[in-house]
Structure 1
Amino acid sequence: MNALDKPEHLEILLAEPRGFCAGVDRAIEIVERALQKFGAPIYVRHEIVHNTFVVNDLKAKGAIFIEDLAEVPPGATLVFSAHGVSKAVQAEAQARGFDVFDATCPLVTKVHVEVAKLAKEGYEFIMIGHKGHPEVEGTMGQLERGIHLVEDVEDVASVQPAQTDKLAVVTQTTLSVDDAAEIVAAVRARFPSIREPKQQDICYATQNRQDAVKVMSPQVDLLIVVGSPTSSNSNRLAELARKLGVESYMVDNADEMRPEWLEGKWRVGLTAGASAPEVLVKEVIDRIKALGAVSVRRMDGIEETVKFPLPKGLKL
């Protein structure tokens, strides 16, 4: 941060946009509406979104989070998380006779539809993503074979597709935009005829939050990201700030804020991952104020107006 730009007192700079995206809003609303319409308990496969506060809030309202469908009693109402599920999980849920509501983010569903369409045309796929992440497991589980996962540029060299005439690339929606571009470039260099999506798979909200951090970073000497440790897009925000030379920490809630982080600081940037609710941001603001911040200023930024429709059968 330019020394001439230093405020007289510790200031908080709020990123715009930050926090909930349309897919997260929709997923949480699906669980809440199912609880209102059918009563507790409602079963949810995997955390509906990767945020501790949200999951605990829904647990208190009667949601039960499970990983194995064997834990769900026959005839129960089941919600698939925003991250999406494999064909095998869908088939098992159907075979067990659950009343299913799919909270998969429509932008993840778009990737699944693209994979299914191109697979019928004989394509194999390279998927860029993080091994073990539920979204990656869901997308790779759309096919029995023919999807090769790469996590970094080094992985690209070891991919051995059965053929290279029909090869397409897809990505996890919550990756670092810059990292994904670097890996796609390596894929393109090795497989020049690879088919890329018409629009990148990384979602608008992930892109917008990362862009806001890029704009904010030169203006602050510390960045706090509100998000849970399991949240991919939140982790990418903190990583991005560090790559841009800004000290950065991720907190699940205000209690995790450490006073020593603020020592000698002039302006604190504050953002939140797409699964972190605004109530947590407000609590972190109060905590930073208690530790000496005097003012809060909002950045100019993109206003997000995207809204996704709810599944049929959940109108109250």
Structure 2
Amino acid sequence: MSESSYTGLGDGITSIDAHYLKPGLVSFYLLEHGGECAVIDTGTVHSVPVLEALLKQRGIASEQIRYIMPTHVHLDHAGGAGAMLQSFPEATLLVHPRGARHLIDPVRLIAGSIAVYGEDLFAQLYGDIVPAPAERVIEVGDGDRFEVGGRSLLCRHTPGHADHHYCVWDEHSRGWFAGDMFGICYHEFRLSGGDFCMLSTTPTQFRPDAMRESLRLLGAANPQRIYLNHFGGIDYFSSQLEGLLAQVDGYVDIAEGCGGDAALMEEAIMDYCSEQVLAMNPELNMREVRESFRFDAQLNAQGLAVWKARQ
């Protein structure tokens, strides 16, 4: 595996490219401290050899992996969890109570994903989803702490993107492992107020009020770093939080204004995010900026359509 798959972020934290769909789309993390390690999010089963190559390179034994911590059970974040338990015999899987049963018995996760992608693409993206042995799973309560080599990791329930989502606060680096709660980062836009983060409202559990509350919880810690799954570690700016909170309101307005029509919402989200970026850097090309949002805008619109239909 190429060195470009791994990015050292300091404080014993390495960002690992999961090579999901394309490089630079999905990352997960290895945290090393005091002779022990935690893996935060997992990518898919195809990510396991990527992690194993890094451990071999660093002389880390499989028995040193103490925890595997998927922030939620969407398959780009937790699809490799069961396979990692097979590879790391001393590891325990830490899962939100609402998600644990789906990793122990992933039949519904698999069926739902096949319905979206079809069997061939599902196999290509996710491979075989390995069930997690129930005896190696701990359900994570809000406020639970776990130690890795004497380093405390605080877990907070953070619904809004998904009801089975939690974030991990690392006091040592003053950073949040934020899963999808801090959105999707567009590093390519050079902005003075920090990297642009686009809200993630993918199906099917977007809840605006919960999203606002969870975002404020992250900001209240006054973090220095945010470790994203889309993609990599970023410096935290309060303007990013303010932007995401504004996006929650903006997305709700879009859903209402478009009557829940996913195609209309996709275009409206692209317009909305493009306007935000161009306001911070007017020298960027409007058409290129707008098109860069299409993939994520499509997924976000689908999630908004589900939310609107439930109103």
Place the TM-score, normalised by the shorter chain, in its bin. 0.3 to 0.5
TM superposition score normalised by structure 2:
0.33
Q: State the TM-score, normalizing by the size of structure 1.
A: 0.33
Q: Greater strand percent: which structure?
A: 2
* Larger Rg belongs to: 1
